[in-house]
Amino acid sequence: MRAVRTWWRRWSRTPVRSSIYARPECLPPQLTIIALRTACCDTLADPTRLDDPAQRRRLTGVTEFDGLPVLRSPVAIAAFEGWNDAADASTAVVEHLEQVWDAREVASVDPEEFYDFQVNRPLITLVDDTRRIEWPSTKFMVASPPGAQHDVVLIRGIEPSLRWRTFCNEILEICHSLGIEKIVLLGALLADVPYSRPLPISGTVTGKHAGEEKIELTPTRYEGPTGIVGVLQDSASRAEIDAMSFWVHVPHYANNPPCPKATLALLHRIEEVLDLPVPMLDLAEESAEWEDRVRAAAAQDAELAEYLRDLEERAGDVAKPLSGDEIAVEFEKYLRRRGGSPGPTHGTW
């Protein structure tokens, strides 16, 4: 892509290149795809160019040229390994959705510019006795969940080591090409929370439709270092893509992966956003087993047991029961997601 852009600059010179925003059809056919992809990149640098609906259609129409599928009002769900992914809880969500929705890969980001391969080393794999190198990358998978009105684009990768702003532009360029106008970003952080209670989820909603979202989030006023999830959400907002982030709070004293209870909590939020049931497979049972293991560890460690009792007391002080109306609203949402059925049966979801 870098070589293509460099060649395009030499061919076009700036005055001619700028004209593609108004009349890409004037270019020779063999240059049309280059022009459209370059326009998409420049638009991310200057998001105001997306104010024109016709311009937006021209840019998102690039899917017809570069082999990407044309999707139904797609929503993207993204998670990244590393600093943003305590106990691997957020990337486990995307992996789970890839499995239950039979997602297929449609695009990936070239890792060469973004990773230190001494930190994130490539892997050697054997496929039919043939050795292959798998490079760390960010992949785009497309799924069409049964009964959904939207296609879902699942984005999973590793937090890059280098050039974060360029990396975000690459991600958003592909999102524009796929026609994505909403991104759900997932993260997991370590926190002082009791393992036996529902794990809290905090987050933010940004974009021009932020006020229309009916998602309840624990407000956060965090200031400090951020990861690629925070940077990508900011970049998406600047590119006029609605973005929301969900951060599940993982007990810091039980942070060895996996943490199925944290993954399950994020999946329930995905159900709310998509207004769609997600098959949970064995996650509920795995979550209960995880709690049993933490409880057993506390039984053998008096100091840990005392600390957990203190966490429980503090959680009890701030918790308040739902009112009757709130319970009714939540139950109606639950039934609607599952098509009016009384609820999932064992082994169904």
Q: Going edge to edge, which strands form the sheet with 104-109?
A: 104-109, 138-143, 152-158, 75-81, 182-191, 242-251, 201-206
pLDDT at 31: 35
Residue 183's pLDDT is what?
Answer: 97
What secondary structure letter does DSSP report for 120?
A: S
Which residue do the tokens 């609820």 mark? 343
CA distance 341 to 122: 46
Q: Which residue has the tokens 């029961």?
A: 321
Q: What are the residues whose beta carbons fall under 8 Å from the beta carbon of 196, sequence distance 6 or more?
A: 291, 295, 308, 312
Q: Would you write out the chain's pLDDT as a tens digit for each of its 349 residues?
A: 444 343 333 333 333 222 222 233 333 333 333 334 444 444 444 444 444 433 443 343 333 335 788 899 999 999 999 999 999 999 999 999 999 999 999 999 999 999 999 999 999 999 888 999 999 999 999 999 998 889 999 999 999 999 999 999 999 999 999 999 899 999 999 999 999 999 999 999 987 766 556 677 777 778 889 999 999 999 999 998 999 999 999 999 999 999 999 999 999 999 999 989 999 999 999 999 999 999 999 999 999 999 999 998 888 654 444 445 544 554 455 455 445 443 322 222 2
Q: What span, in angstroms and rounded, lies between the C-alpha atoms of 238 and 29?
A: 31
In angstroms, rounded to a whole number, what is the distance separating the alpha carbons of residues 282 and 265? Answer: 14
pLDDT attached to residue 209: 63
For residue 296, the model assigns a pLDDT of 95
Q: So what's the pLDDT on residue 49?
A: 44
Domain ranges of the chain: 2-64, 75-284
| CA–CA distance, 109 with 1 (Å, rounded to integer) | 10
**3-class DSSP state of 227:** coil
Q: Which overall architecture, per CATH, does domain 75-284 show?
A: 3-Layer(aba) Sandwich (3.40)
pLDDT number for residue 348: 26
What pLDDT was estimated at residue 317?
Answer: 53
Q: Alpha-carbon distance 182 to 273, whole Å? A: 11
Cβ 71 vs Cβ 175: under 8 Å: no
**285: phi then psi, degrees, rounded to nearest 5:** -65, -40
Place of tokens 């969900």: 246
